A and B are shown apart, each in its own frame.
Chain A
């Protein structure tokens, strides 16, 4: 049974129409004309327990608005959302106990208090029993290496430290669902990796369902098996990451390091640079082994490798096709 079920979800934002000319500000205030913007336009999907789903889309596609309806922050214009048996905006408090939420752009910790105290407060707000809390805090302090800054006021933490603190705070009360909104934005490579490792581990060991929005597709490649792509408020793709690549980017590239190569049957030269040649081929038409054999038979090759398409370029192509 799906843990998250979204059907025909719509969210419209109604704004007074901006007036121009003299007394524009006053007329804007008094106008009865409205502009309606449909940020989410009939989105449906289901997520099973334990799935890790990348919820992707360009800026303004409706990602955050969807997440805000799933977490109970916004009330939708129409459509239904069920999260583990609750309607988030109606059973807001009940839903809050079963979800953890991390916004990369905005901390949920107490700015002027030491991290340790933020964690303690969250433990109290969610009625975590004292022994359970101690155990959780110890576990997260180890996994996320919080020890060195547990007693530092949150406002003095680096972004990476703060994100680790936020993650610990979001998981302290063992929610079964974790929403991550841009969790790695602005972080360095090491900090990103640490967060991905932690999330992957939560999912494997506790079966936590993870919904991730991000612009960093490395997050998705590393964590998610499935992506839901949204564009202009509608679902543009929902399925396997591998299948997405197969459908939109069926080609592989063979990179050959050689002094001379004119061309090979079954592949197309797409790029040449400093003694390297990039050959593009469709593995379902030209089996890689045959191609490699054909190249090796006729050329002196010092090195070669097969490159998979990056998710990033695949998604760029999808957006480009839809415009």
Chain B
């Protein structure tokens, strides 16, 4: 299936999911508010830490807020289309995936559009506002090139997080129960992603770059934009190349997903 057609089908089905969601209007607003509130609590925690210690790992409030905003926007940008992967276990175990396979469109697109969870809009909006405010105050020279890189970095970050979640979800076709793995991945992103990586030490920094590619989401692009390359333990080009990592990882994850779907066993016989 060509990319253009996949996109057209995605928009068609996402529109249907959106209209379906409007059947439960009350839910809709509670969901968006919930998303905003959840992220607000996380931010309040960091603010409390900074308020007490002034800086974290040499990063001041506006720089931490910039890092946080970058990660949160990337997270929201991934979550808005990707949220339904959270239900992969039940979709596979209960055989709902059958239905996707008998349509002449991508099963993954159908899975992603089975419902629309608008709480992701809360994350995305919260992240974008924070990122905009922090960008204005952080010591960054906002040349057009820098703005362009920031946009690419957000998309790359969304792809990095998405690729790990997609790969973990693909395991469901064999393992059936992958929710704990996906939950763990989510925890690592939200617990470690909002801080300068160097505060965790060399070994953890290496692990969170090359084993679990967390650094590519926000830390590496934020470090080069904030002109803090000196603290990097990796070559600077890796920082500027962070968005490319997202594309490569997502490509690999998608190939893995495609392979794993062949192990689908449906339900009942």
Contacts and interface: CB of A to CB of B under 8 A. Distances in A.
A111 B101 CA distance: 18
Interface of A: 13, 39, 60, 62, 64-65, 68, 71-75, 89, 92-94, 96-97, 99, 101, 103, 106, 108, 110-113, 117, 121, 124-126, 153
Interface in B81-109: 95, 98-99, 101-105
Rank and list the top 3 A-B pairs by shortest CB-CB distance, nearest first: A112-B20, A96-B104, A93-B104
Of B9, B101, B265, chain A has the most CB atoms within 10 Å of the CB of B101
A292 B23 CA distance: 67
Contacts of A39: 269
B19 A125 contact: no
A257 to B, nearest CB: 47
Given A112-B20, A121-B12, A121-B13, A99 B269 contact: no
Contacts of B99: 106, 108
B195 to A, nearest CB: 34
Given A93-B1, A96-B104, A73 B269 contact: no
Contact of B269 (A60, A93, A113, A125): A60
A73 B264 contact: yes
A188 B99 CA distance: 25
A65 B268 CA distance: 8
Given A68-B98, A112-B23, A117-B16, A62 B104 contact: no
B52 interface: no
A110 B12 contact: no
Contact of B23 (A72, A125, A153): A153
A97 B102 contact: no
A11 to B, nearest CB: 8
A169 to B, nearest CB: 11
B89 to A, nearest CB: 15
A103 B98 contact: yes
A75 B265 CA distance: 8
Contacts of A126: 104
Contact of A113 (B19, B95, B262, B266): B19
Given A13-B265, A108-B102, A112-B20, 11 more contacts: A62-B269, A73-B264, A74-B265, A93-B1, A93-B105, A101-B102, A103-B98, A112-B23, A125-B12, A125-B103, A153-B23
Nearest to B115: A112
Interface of B: 1, 9, 12-13, 16, 19-21, 23, 95, 98-99, 101-105, 262, 264-266, 268-269
A73 B98 contact: yes
Nearest to A122: B103
A182 to B, nearest CB: 11
Nearest to A68: B266
A217 B107 CA distance: 34
Nearest to B102: A101
Contacts of B21: 112
Contacts of B265: 13, 74
Given A62-B269, A112-B20, A153-B23, A106 B102 contact: no
Nearest to A72: B101
A127 to B, nearest CB: 9
Contact of A125 (B9, B98, B101): B9
Contacts of B103: 96, 125
Contacts of B19: 113, 117
B269 A13 contact: yes
A64 B104 contact: no
A121 B104 contact: no
B92 to A, nearest CB: 12
B15 to A, nearest CB: 9
Nearest to B97: A73
Contacts of B95: 106
Contacts of B12: 121, 124-125
Of B16, B262, B265, B269, chain A has the most CB atoms within 10 Å of the CB of B269
Nearest to B5: A127
B210 to A, nearest CB: 28
Given A64-B268, A125-B12, A73 B104 contact: no
Nearest to B22: A112
B6 to A, nearest CB: 11
A160 to B, nearest CB: 21
Nearest to A108: B99
12 contacts: A64-B268, A71-B102, A75-B264, A96-B101, A96-B104, A99-B102, A103-B98, A106-B95, A106-B99, A111-B20, A117-B16, A124-B12
B20 A72 contact: no
B16 A125 contact: no
A78 B95 CA distance: 22
Given A64-B268, A74-B266, A75-B262, A94 B104 contact: yes
A110 B133 CA distance: 41
